[in-house]
Amino acid sequence: MSTAIGHDPDEEIEASRAPLLDHLIELRTRLIICVAAIAIAFGVCFAFVKPIFLFLVRPFTVAEGLKAMEDSGGQHGAFDLFLALVGVKKVAAGALANITLQATAPLEQFFTNIKLSAFGAIILAFPIIAWQLYRFVAPGLYKKERNAFLPFLIASPVLFMLGASLVYYVMLPFVLWFSLSQQIVGDGVKVVLQTRVSEYLTLVTTLLLAFGLSFQ
C-alpha cells in the first residue's frame, strides 16, 4: 500500500508522543513544587514545634487540672473543659503545676516532634498541593467542571479547619474527661491514667485528620 504524498508515519508518531512528554514534564514540575512546599512547611513547623506541641497538649493539661480541682472538692465535667479551652472558664494555676506526660524511650520526644512537624507540614502545604493538582487537571476539564472544582478548592481548607475545631473543642474534652473518670482510687487500689506523649499525640493528630478530611 502506498503512503500518501507528504505524509511521514514517523512524524505522526513523534507528534503523538510530544503531548505525553509535555504532560510528564508538567507533572514533574507540579510534583517538585508540592515536595518543595512540604519541605518548607516542615522546616517552619519544626522551628515552631514547641508551641504546636503545647497547643495540642493543652486539652490534656486542662482536663488534668480540672480533675485535680474536682478531687479537691469542686464539681466539673466535660462541658467545663470545653469552657476552659475557649477561655470562658479559668483553671487554677496550682492545679496545672504537676501535670506530666510520659516519654518512655530516649528519642521518643524527638520522633514525636518529627511527626508533629510532618503533620503540620501537610496541613500548611495542602492549599498549594490542591492548587497544583487543579492546575494539572484543569486543561482536560470542561468549563463547567472547572467552575465546579474551584469553589471546592477554596472551601476545602475552611471545611478542614471546621472539622479539626470540632475535634479540639468538642470531641477531645469528652474523650479525655471520660478517660480520666475511669481512674480508681480507694480501698488500697489505685489506677491512675499515665499517658505517653507519643500515644496521646497520635490520637489527637489521627482525630484531627479524620474529622478534617470527613468535613470536605
- Domain span at residue 35 reads 15-94+106-214
Residue 183 lies in a domain: yes
Residue 87 lies in a domain: yes
Residue 99 lies in a domain: no
Residue 90 lies in a domain: yes
Say what the alpha-carbon torsion angle 92, 98, 100, 104 is, to the nearest 10 degrees: 180
Contact between residue 60 and residue 144 where contact means Cβ atoms under 8 Å apart: no
At residue 12, does pLDDT exceed 50? Answer: no
Residue 10 lies in a domain: no
pTM (2 d.p.): 0.77
Per-residue pLDDT tens for 37-93? 999 999 999 999 999 999 999 888 888 877 776 666 666 667 777 777 877 777 766
Residue 36 lies in a domain: yes
Residue 101 lies in a domain: no
For residue 186, the cross-strand partners are 189
Please list, in sequence order, all residues whose beta carbon lies within 8 angstroms of the beta carbon of residue 159, skipping any fewer than 6 positions away.
212, 215, 216
For residue 194, which phi and psi values (nearest 5 degrees)? -120, 100
Residue 3 lies in a domain: no
User: How many domains does the chain contain in total?
Assistant: 1
**Which helix (H) or strand (E) segment is 210 a member of?**
helix 197-214
Average pLDDT value over all residues in the chain: 82
Residue type, 9: P
